[in-house]
Amino acid sequence: MLLEDYRTERLRKLAEIKERGIEPYPSKAHRTAKIADIINHFDEKQGQEVAIVGRIVAIRSFGKLAFVKLRDYTGEIQIFMRDVAKIESQDPNFAANQLESEGLETTTMDGFGVKDIKLLDIGDFIEAKGIVDKTQTGEISVFSNYVRLLTKSLRPLPEKFTNKEERYRRRYVDMNVNPEVRERLVRRSRFWQATRDFMNKHGFIEINIPVLEHTTGGADAEPFVTHMNALDEDFYLRISHELPLKRLLGGGFEKVYDIGPRFRNEGVDDEHLPEHIAFEAYAAYENYEDGMKFYEKMMKYVCMETWGTLKFNVGGFEIDLDCEWPRYKYADLLRDKYGVDVFNPDREQLIRILLENWDADDLKREDFMKKLENTTTPHLIDDVWKLIRKTSAGPYWVVEEPLSLSPLAKKSAENPLVTERFHPVIAGTEMGNGFSELNDPLDQLARFQEQQAARDAGDNEAQMLDMDFVEMLEYGMPPACGWGNSERNFWLLEGVPGREAVPFPIMKSKED
């Protein structure tokens, strides 16, 4: 049958239900127990009367008997139904004793017995009231003579749902047919709750900051642009939480963080989504050495709270986070692997290395060469670093990134060509970004001007000149360590691409 035929048949059933005077979409349900409570505490519940609710996932009818499999958020259970008319002929009070309770009707005008079960379908939401017991085969069940309709579904759930585009487009169907999707979203929630718990335990305060900004910054990314009618001005959707949170440090806060969405107008791949949840935190009077120790502990804590382990197999990498993570200097890694001098870069050498590692599945060679020609030298250096990173199991820290790649990080006191910046590398991915924050207003202004010049020259990902932020620094901001990571960490350790790990992935619009 076609979907249209199934829907037509269910509309016919809906009309018959209404003709009987039954409301197919009542406003209230009467639940006294969740399914998991019955299953897990059967010895306590056996013989007790309960009212359960949920979605029908299976129906079997055999004349005077019917078996309905019901699923709620916590689990599944069988409803064992018998023909109440036959039982009432022997004991007129049986059905009433079995079903009657305050506020719940027991007549066939409000419910469906075995004879009426044909009007129900897989996917409908129902309420069942009855006695908890086991069948002759030993299956825990609720023995009920009537069920009450809560929602009549007009479209059938598919038995299998594997097409990625359809799964992402109709995620509500996906979660029903593939319950592991819903379970993953529960872990995603646990991931962020563990992050909050850790930060709150260590004296940080969560401060929600604006999404709309006049000047956006804090990362190398192209922003989305929107328009506010009330002010008749264009705004950017934030690409980072950084600059507003550091303004809070200037305002007297010492430990702040925010968890929320950020938006980057870039492509969609396994590690990138234009809209995603991110976390950033800033601690006054601390530096990057303090940060590495703190965030290593945080990441281990979050992993244990989310997955209950520090050992992962991700993309062919065997990862064990249960160690003290070593540290490697950015410049040493590029010199040892490719002979690149990041302080005196040879642009032609960088392009040659990238061409030798060109991925034909990414771009055509001529398009790739054109892209390289239009890429700034600092970004070419970073692209070569990514070649190293992608083959690294980790965990380890990359430290002392060059000044040209870190416009918001403080210079190293020992080597002014590098910054006090740190990245954790795990399974080929940078799992976060942190540094000793730059709080010298004149130095910050000079770096912003360099970034703005690159932006004016055509680099849409270069940072903007933010004079209000510089003004804040001129009033004074204490030395601080900043840190940020996105939900990419969750995707990676779950072992799935980004769109598999968010509830409603962005898709190109399509109407049925």
Q: Dump pLDDT digits (tens) for 355-413.
A: 999 887 777 888 888 888 888 899 999 999 999 999 999 999 999 999 888 888 899 98
The C-alpha atoms of residue 168 and residue 355 are separated, in whole angstroms, by: 35
The C-alpha atoms of residue 174 and residue 165 are separated, in whole angstroms, by: 11
Is residue 376 one of the residues assigned to a domain?
Answer: no
> Do 138 and 240 share a domain, yes or no?
no
pLDDT at position 65 over 50: yes
> Do 207 and 86 share a domain, yes or no?
no
**DSSP state letters, 300-352:** HHHHHHHHS-SEEEETTEEEE--SPPPEEEHHHHHHHHH---TTS--HHHHHH
The C-alpha atoms of residue 422 and residue 400 are separated, in whole angstroms, by: 7
pLDDT at position 12 over 80: yes
The pLDDT value recorded for residue 93 is 37
- The CATH number that applies at residue 75 is 2.40.50.140
The pLDDT value recorded for residue 376 is 87
Residue 376 · residue 455 · CB < 8 Å: no
The C-alpha atoms of residue 177 and residue 172 are separated, in whole angstroms, by: 9
Is residue 507 one of the residues assigned to a domain?
Answer: no
Residue 218 · residue 445 · CB < 8 Å: no
The pLDDT value recorded for residue 512 is 67
User: Is 178 in a helix, a strand, or coil?
Assistant: coil
Residue 256 · residue 204 · CB < 8 Å: yes
Q: What is the mean pLDDT of residues 126-134?
A: 97
The pLDDT value recorded for residue 128 is 97
The pLDDT value recorded for residue 103 is 39
For residue 269, name the pLDDT band (cuts at 50, 70, 90): confident
Ranges 78-82, 96-100, 119-123, 232-236: which has the least confidence: 96-100
> Do 119 and 257 share a domain, yes or no?
no
> Do 404 and 296 share a domain, yes or no?
yes
Q: What is the mean pLDDT of residues 421-446?
A: 95
The pLDDT value recorded for residue 85 is 53
For residue 266, name the pLDDT band (cuts at 50, 70, 90): confident
Q: What is the mean pLDDT of residues 255-269?
A: 94
For residue 294, name the pLDDT band (cuts at 50, 70, 90): very high
Domains of the chain: total = 2
The residue out of 151, 186, 207 marking a domain boundary is 151
> Is 0.75 topped by the overall pTM?
yes
pLDDT digits (tens, 9 = 90+) for 306-330: 999 999 999 899 999 999 999 999 9
> Do 187 and 135 share a domain, yes or no?
no
Please state, for a pLDDT cut of 70, what percent of the chain lies above it: 95
> Do 200 and 312 share a domain, yes or no?
yes
Strand blocks (E) in 42-74: 49-62, 65-72
Q: What is the mean pLDDT of residues 264-292?
A: 94
Which of 130, 156, 132, 144 shows the shortest CA–CA distance to 55? 156
What is the dihedral angle through the alpha carbons of 204, 210, 211, 215, rounded to the nearest 10 degrees?
-110
> Do 94 and 15 share a domain, yes or no?
yes
Is residue 365 one of the residues assigned to a domain?
Answer: no
pLDDT at position 257 over 90: yes
Could you tell me the residue range of the domain that residue 40 belongs to? 3-151
pLDDT at position 439 over 70: yes
Residue 489 · residue 267 · CB < 8 Å: no
pLDDT at position 95 over 60: no
Which of 219, 282, 196 shows the shortest CA–CA distance to 246? 282
Instruction: Characterize the bridge pairing of strands 205-206 and 255-263.
Output: parallel
The pLDDT value recorded for residue 219 is 84
The pLDDT value recorded for residue 84 is 64
The C-alpha atoms of residue 310 and residue 301 are separated, in whole angstroms, by: 9
